[in-house]
Structure 1
Amino acid sequence: MKDYIEERVIKTAEYIVENGATVRAAAKVFGTSKSTTHKDLIERLPHINRELSAQVNHILAVNKAERHIRGGQATCLKYQQQRLLHKV
């Protein structure tokens, strides 16, 4: 594997562990696609650093379990903002 890919994978994984970030948020920070970020974390990271991979997998599992809640919160906020705009 190329050195710059390994470096990107490790930096992305460390960012997710430090911030509890989602794949989407990490992809945005590092300027990669969600697909590339996910592949880095799921396929490449276990070959580079197993311990870091376990930490990332735990955070990704938590994020996956909470995503329906975040989606509901985003929808609620959207409609609250729409109501405020129509009252004015």
Structure 2
Amino acid sequence: MDIATTGTVAAITILCYLVGVIVKSISAIEDKHIPWIVGVLGGILGIVGMYVMPDFPAQDVLYAAAVGVTSGLASTGANQVYKQLTGK
């Protein structure tokens, strides 16, 4: 995996994280629903990324969706790491 590929996957993770934070702050959605929201968003972004980015690490729709979902769910893990480190 090269730098460009890592950057595209990290971009999906960051976008999903930001959407999760925004959804949590402006809506009455319970926290338990945020992971599947960012997972679905990641899957959609993965499929879009496959068609838009020439260096995307997937060549078929199923693999692109899996990369996206994994990246989206990684954003919830990043949120938990932040919470544990800051004590919030």
TM-score normalised to the size of structure 2? 0.37
Higher relative contact order (CA 8 A, sep 6+): 2
- Largest Rg, 1 or 2: 1
Q: Which one has a larger percent helix, Structure 1 or Structure 2?
A: 1
